[in-house]
């Protein structure tokens, strides 16, 4: 098992880059999220460094002047980790480590670290460990990478096989062992899912921290761990829920995030099977989050990666109790009216209108609009159910109020 890096209340600085793809506002938003990730991992952010550069420095990502500034700050403030929002190449990571002499973390390794901290079951731990080794493997190639193509040639035989080579072999062996272990668990889980019979399956999906587990708990009276940190849930919980007298299965699973490391999507494949095999998705969105539209995009992108983009989906806009909009004074003629100024009623007139009755607005925390939520889910599940079992449709009336 890989050693868990615990960065408890460790002092950290963040580094972001402004370029053609990400302007200053975007970078601020990304660093806000990176700070939340750092907090979740147990760190405290003392300062952010941002540099504008269109072509990143191949050796150190940021320029040498900026690096000196960071180095001085790290030295004066006993910084434990320097965290980059952008992914670093193995070489960049090594070079920067030499200059700053502290832990160099990128977004991917930070997310992996949080997953490692949060994994409870042996299943989740195995999946995270696999992702960590996949991340590690190309980073073990140190000195000898450039000779790789000539492997087996002169000077590369026998005693010249380096420690790195041995390490790599160990890591590769470990990866194939973990894959075998996961395959075995996958088969068990598949059988388990098969045993659940033909009940309609509904899956909660969404960005991390949007309130999926909270909603699961109010709907199913279960006790899934929910808190205001990222990735509170890593395992999938499945509960049988009954609305009216119509039973179905509801699953709550790992939350998504922008740039979710591909290693994680890969190794969490079987956890995500619950989503892939669902008949209906409830895409939960935190409408009070300023970047909720981007969150929807990130989630849709990952759904695409797991072949679930075209599934029957209800959009559940949660946290309406927390939603606030900015006001523009009557005499202010310069401020451009943007999404920040919309009320929820305004939002409903935007693209959300096209979502039609597949959009719901609720507060899972204050239990607002849950009746409407139940009714919509009932209707949808009922439709799927009666298509599947046409002979017992009389059991489930079209109008839930008849109960
Ligand atoms: N104000 C408000 N807060 C909410 C609402 N629903 C959930 N929360 C809070 O949002 C935080 C995250 O909730 P979770 O249910 O853990 O979110 P999740 O989507 O399961 O998150 P992950 O498992 O981390 O992906 C918690 O602090 C909840 O109390 C809501 O309707 N309104
Ligand atoms: Mg959760």
Parallel/antiparallel/unpaired status of strands 43-52 and 359-361: unpaired
Cα 197 to Cα 201: distance, rounded to the nearest angstrom: 10
Q: What are phi and psi of 215, to 5 degrees?
A: -65, -45
- Quick count: other Cβ atoms within 10 Å of Cβ 108? 20
Considering every ligand atom shown, identify the ligand nearest to the alpha carbon of residue 209 and give its number: 1
Query: Ligand 1, atom 27: nearest CA belongs to which residue?
Result: 228
Collapsed DSSP state (helix, strand, coil) of residue 327 = coil
CA nearest to 168, candidates 130, 148, 133, 140: 140
Buried b (16+ CB within 10 A) or exposed e, 328-356: eeeeeeeeeeeeeebeeeebeeeebeebe
What are 361's two structure tokens?
């607005």
**C-beta separation of 373 from 284 below 8 A:** no
Determine the pLDDT at residue 147: 42
Interval 43-81: pLDDT, tens = 999 999 999 998 999 999 999 999 999 999 999 999 999
Is the CB of 190 within 6 Å of ligand 1?
no
Determine the pLDDT at residue 203: 95
For residue 250, the CA-to-ligand 1 centroid distance in Å is 17
Is the CB of 176 within 6 Å of ligand 1?
no
Cα 230 to Cα 206: distance, rounded to the nearest angstrom: 12
Q: Which is the closest atom of ligand 1 to the Cα of 252?
A: 20
Determine the pLDDT at residue 143: 42
180's CB contacts (< 8 A; 6+ apart) are none
Q: How far is CA 10 from CA 46, 81, 219, 311, in A?
A: 10, 7, 38, 42
Determine the pLDDT at residue 392: 66
Q: Which residues surround ligand 2, an ion (CB under 5 A)?
A: 212-213, 232-233
Determine the pLDDT at residue 325: 87
Which residues does the chain have with pLDDT short of 70?
1-8, 141-164, 196, 222-224, 392-403
Is the CB of 211 within 6 Å of ligand 1?
yes
CA nearest to 252, candidates 292, 225, 288: 225
Determine the pLDDT at residue 3: 53
**C-beta separation of 88 from 61 below 8 A:** yes
Considering every ligand atom shown, identify the ligand nearest to the alpha carbon of residue 226 and give its number: 1
């Amino acid at each position: 098992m890989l050693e868990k890096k615990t960065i408890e209340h460790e002092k950290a600085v963040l580094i972001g880059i402004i370029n053609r793809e990400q302007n200053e506002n975007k970078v601020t938003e990304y660093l806000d999220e990176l700070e939340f990730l750092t907090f979740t991992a147990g760190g405290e952010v003392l300062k952010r460094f941002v540099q504008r550069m269109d072509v990143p420095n191949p050796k150190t990502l940021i320029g040498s002047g900026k690096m000196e500034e960071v180095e001085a700050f790290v030295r004066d403030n006993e910084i434990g980790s320097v965290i980059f929002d952008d992914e670093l190449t193995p070489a960049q990571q090594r070079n920067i480590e030499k200059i700053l002499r502290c832990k160099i973390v990128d977004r991917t390794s930070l997310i992996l670290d949080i997953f490692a901290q949060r994994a409870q079951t042996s299943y989740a731990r195995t999946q995270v460990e696999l992702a960590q080794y996949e991340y590690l493997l190309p980073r073990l190639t140190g000195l000898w990478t450039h000779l790789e193509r000539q492997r087996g040639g002169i000077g590369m035989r026998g005693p010249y096989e380096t420690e790195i080579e041995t390490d790599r072999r160990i890591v590769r062996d470990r990866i194939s062992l973990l894959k075998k272990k996961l395959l075995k668990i996958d088969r068990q889980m598949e059988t388990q899912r098969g045993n659940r019979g033909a009940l309609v399956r509904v899956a909660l999906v969404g960005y991390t921290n949007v309130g999926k587990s909270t909603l699961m708990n109010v709907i199913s009276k279960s006790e899934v761990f929910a808190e205001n940190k990222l990735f509170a849930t890593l395992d999938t919980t499945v509960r049988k829920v009954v609305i009216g007298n119509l039973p179905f299965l509801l699953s709550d699973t790992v939350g998504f995030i922008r740039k979710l490391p591909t290693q994680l999507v890969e190794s969490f494949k079987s956890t995500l099977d619950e989503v892939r095999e669902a008949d209906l998705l409830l895409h939960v969105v935190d409408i009070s989050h300023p970047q909720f539209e981007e969150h929807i995009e990130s989630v849709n992108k990952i759904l695409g990666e797991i072949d679930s983009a075209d599934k029957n989906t209800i959009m559940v806009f949660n946290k309406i109790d927390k939603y606030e909009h900015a006001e523009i004074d009557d005499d202010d003629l310069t401020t451009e009216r943007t999404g920040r100024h919309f009320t929820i009623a305004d939002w409903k007139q935007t693209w959300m209108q096209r979502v039609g009755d597949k959009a719901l607005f609720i507060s899972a925390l204050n239990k607002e609009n849950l009746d409407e939520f139940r009714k919509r889910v009932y209707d949808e599940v009922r439709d799927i159910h009666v298509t599947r079992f046409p002979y017992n449709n009389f059991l489930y009336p079209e109008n839930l109020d008849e109960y």
